[in-house]
Amino acid sequence: MLSRYHKTLLAVFLILTCAASSVKAEQTDEYQEGFLTSYLNRAIEKAMSGDEAGEEPLQYGRHITKYVSAPQFGGYFVGKYSYSSRDNADENGFECRMVRFYVSGTILRDFKYRVQLELKNPAMRDYTLEWVRFKEFQIKVGQFKRSFTYDNPMHPWNLGMGNYSQLARHMTALSVDDPSGEVAQNGRDLGLQLQGDLFPVGKDQRRLIRYQAAMFNGNGQNKKDNNKQKDWMGNIQVQPVKDLYIGLFGWTGTYTGSNGVSVRRNRWALGSIYEHNDWSFRAEYAHHSGLNVKDFDVETQSWNPGSSNRADGWYLVLGVPITRWLKVYGTYDAYREDASWSSMKSIYGICPNFELHKNLKFQVQYNYINDRTSSDHNYHELWAQTYVRF
């Protein structure tokens, strides 16, 4: 049963969702070409134009050279300057957040592949093969973003704020340790996912239902499984009006730490995302239950006193267009590491986005932070970020 606190949160969430302006769903972590890779892509397309299969009937066989699209290359980097008034803050100064390069394409029209590399600290981020013949039923296999929450799968370019929500960063091990003790994994895992869009309705023939059902190793990116259990995730999303999605997400599994201790993790989230005419709105709440492997004392073979088995978080983001090249986002972002008010960290942020070209964007973000777990409860942050597609 939901507590009075959770019922209140749910009611506030639904009211805000119904009051939102008409918006279009944000793009997920899709790949787009930049100003340099566009020349490479056009040259490859031209070179392959003689091999295009057109609308000829498909012919299968290992010697067939047609039915392969020109690969699409792209890349981007994000640079950042940050300042914090927090006591003993060590994050002040310039940094390179990420430099990524990617390629995607299709084979035999029905198979879509994607590869994404991180060049800053070289690592594989994504590699997937998808069978996409039918909108109603598709299969994806490889390494990709965990299908939990709306925030985690989004491309950094489309977030609007300078970082992902605390909810996504913690609950999917995106950039910090998750409540089970799993170290940051960029929100990714290896597995297989079924997905699709069902039931076209209305004059616009929008798809009423979207679903995803996935099985992951549960051990994060670029790692083999280290136990006999798998993590299971799923979500179902409803589109009652065009571009408004309301989704319920679930996750159950077992995580085994480097100390050999295994813990259960059960999570659920309720969210909404809505975008239209460059207005943006999204909101989510997520809850975790399960112990943290770091709270187990191997010497005494017992859990440390005060070990928590719960965590939760929620956020609201609103984006308001000012001009064709200026859009201002605001957010309220809260996370509680043991689902108690004494462990709450709240972020109140505002972030103008200056997108002067589709391949060039600047952000300036101010955050006021109230962290009840820190000796310095209240402090300020100022970020300046540059985004370039190449």
DSSP, residue by residue, 43-74: HHHHHHGGG--TTPPP---TT---SBPPPEEE
Given its phi and psi angles, is residue 228 left (phi above 0), alpha (psi -120 to 50 degrees) or beta? alpha
φ, ψ for residue 215, nearest 5 deg:
-120, 120
Q: How far is the CA of 172 from the CAs of 140, 345, 365, 368, in angstroms?
A: 19, 18, 24, 24
Virtual torsion, Cα 155, 184, 338, 235, nearest 10 deg: 50
Q: What's the CA gap between 56 and 205, in Å, rounded?
A: 28
The pLDDT, as a whole number, for residue 49 is 80
> What number of CA atoms fall less than 13 Å from residue 286's CA on the CB side?
35
Contact 99, 117 (CB under 8 A): no
d(CA 18, CA 66) in angstroms, rounded, equals: 49
Q: Distance between CA 317 and CA 380 in Å, rounded?
A: 19
pTM flag (> 0.95)? no
Rounded CA-CA distance 263/228 in Å is 13
pLDDT by residue, tens only, the chain of 390 residues: 445 444 444 443 443 333 333 333 335 666 789 989 999 999 998 888 865 555 567 777 766 667 889 999 999 999 999 999 998 888 799 999 999 999 999 999 899 999 999 999 999 999 999 999 999 999 999 999 999 999 999 999 999 999 999 999 999 999 999 999 999 999 999 999 999 999 999 999 999 999 999 999 999 999 999 999 999 999 999 999 999 999 999 999 999 999 999 999 999 999 999 998 999 999 999 999 999 999 999 889 999 988 889 999 999 999 999 999 999 999 999 999 999 999 999 999 999 999 999 999 999 999 999 999 998 999 999 999 999 999
Domain map (residue ranges) of the chain: 4-49+98-310
**Partner residues linked to 321 by β-bridges:** 327
Torsions phi, psi for 56 (to 5 deg): -65, 150
CB atoms near residue 235 (< 10 Å): 22
Q: How far apart are CA 41 and CA 306, in angstroms?
A: 57
Could you give the CA distance from residue 10 to residue 46 in angstroms, rounded to a whole number? 53
Cβ atoms of 72 and 34 within 8 Å: the answer is: no
The secondary structure of 86-130 as a DSSP string is: STT----EEEEEEEEEEEEEEETTTEEEEEEEETTTTEEEEEEEE
Cα 248 from Cα 139, distance rounded (Å): 20
Residue 261's φ and ψ, nearest 5 degrees, are: -85, 135
Beta bridge partners of 320: 328
φ, ψ of residue 161 in degrees (nearest 5): -95, 165
Burial label for 134, CB within 10 Å (0-12, 13-18, 19+), is exposed
pLDDT number for residue 32: 86
Q: Cα separation of 368 and 55, whole Å?
A: 56
Coil, helix or strand for 150? coil
Residue 359 and residue 120: Cα distance in Å, rounded?
Answer: 20
For residue 43, CA distances in Å to 39, 103, 115, 367 come to 6, 15, 20, 44
The per-residue pLDDT for 163 is: 97
